[in-house]
Structure 1
């Protein structure tokens, strides 16, 4: 009987030891997780807009190329889309002032993709700031005033990027629907991806030369989405309704 009690006592001690170790391990992991969460959910901190309340925003990124942008602008005009937002890299805009002029004359909005189309998560804050300001100078020379929207090149950004953008009076715009058009999956697939959009969504499309099927997809995209909400500029979406914001790594 005594042997039996001693054996169980040892087992109890072992069990207690395991429980204590498990508790402190869980506590450590939780604290690490909480530290990360606090960074991503800081109240009052800078955030990125990725969704609105009303309207559907068609957004087009242009970082390089001189063949596809004009055709996409023409397709939007033909389909009667009067509001869209084009995010341009400063280096591209500098080389294609004629296409930039067409975008402006159609009444479409221009946002910034920075200048050199570099991944901001890999740059120091000072270099991010310099890249954004260099793009802003290009837009000023092209007589494009009040560029207040920024989409981080490559779509990658972090809290550092958001803080720099906020200090320059810019709103970072992400997206809620990705067309994947740059992968050229086929017109039907592009339409299928964008057809998921609802009122308030910001759709990512491209007008760089890598997006070889986007212009052909536009008529069907417009047809699919016309009854879901009005096509509006991102700035109007921000101004006219509630927006959802996030910090995306």
Structure 2
């Protein structure tokens, strides 16, 4: 009698175990996506992921380099990249913004003006972020959820404001220093150090005169190391590493 009852319970026990692990898997995947944004309620900046390689391009001024870089990405089969656009620049170049979006690349915010968030009062930081968002809204660019500090500098206050506005601060793990124009070989060398999970900083402003020439070799070097993804895809598809701001 005792053994019969035990056998009858086994199918139910199996269902309970499977349900538990299914729920645990769903919870873990959700946690992986939200861990990039905060820890114990404190917003952090994403600087590295787990799956894929993210090519990111900052654009703050000029109208000569962005379109050639778009063409190079498309010619070399890169379907995913993230462009962080200054709101002031986007306002002046809606046609290029439209080309970036139509090409299927992700658009993130670089704030509105080129200001250092660590030097400004909180109200001015908030205004800069919001003004950029207003520009993207007018240009009908939907779901701009990523923010990169215009100068690359940020503190806890900037992170908190960004979080309140529904924005995730994105830094980088590989800096090519391409805006300094150190030579294409040097830009390629720095970019090629990237591994799966890295976020690479490049520029498509007119100051970066050598980036487009270096880009085809960068793409060839990195294509064997991981799939090119947008920053949002990187965050969604695995654990993201974050920076702790002292």
Q: Identify the structure with the greater helix proportion.
A: 1
Residue in 1 that maps onto 2:121: 124
CA distance in 2, matches of 1:96, 1:247: 35
CA distance in 2, matches of 1:137, 1:59: 22
Normalised by the size of structure 2, how large is the TM-score? 0.83
Residue in 2 that maps onto 1:66: 63
Residue in 2 that maps onto 1:103: 100
CA distance in 1, matches of 2:82, 2:212: 15
Check whether the contact 1:159–1:247 (CA below 8 A) recurs between aligned residues.
no
Check whether the contact 1:85–1:108 (CA below 8 A) recurs between aligned residues.
yes
CA distance in 2, matches of 1:228, 1:146: 29
Shift of 1:247: 3.2
Any stretches of 5+ residues in structure 1 without a counterpart?
Answer: 1-40
Check whether the contact 1:158–1:247 (CA below 8 A) recurs between aligned residues.
no
Shift of 1:44: 3.3
Residue in 2 that maps onto 1:177: 174
Secondary structure in 2 matching 1:182:
helix
Check whether the contact 1:53–1:241 (CA below 8 A) recurs between aligned residues.
yes
Q: How many aligned residue pairs are there?
A: 209
Residue in 1 that maps onto 2:208: 211
CA distance in 2, matches of 1:239, 1:42: 17
Structure with the greater alpha carbon radius of gyration: 1
Shift of 1:43: 4.2
Residue in 1 that maps onto 2:238: 241
Any stretches of 5+ residues in structure 2 without a counterpart?
Answer: 1-37
CA distance in 1, matches of 2:245, 2:41: 16
Residue in 2 that maps onto 1:27: none
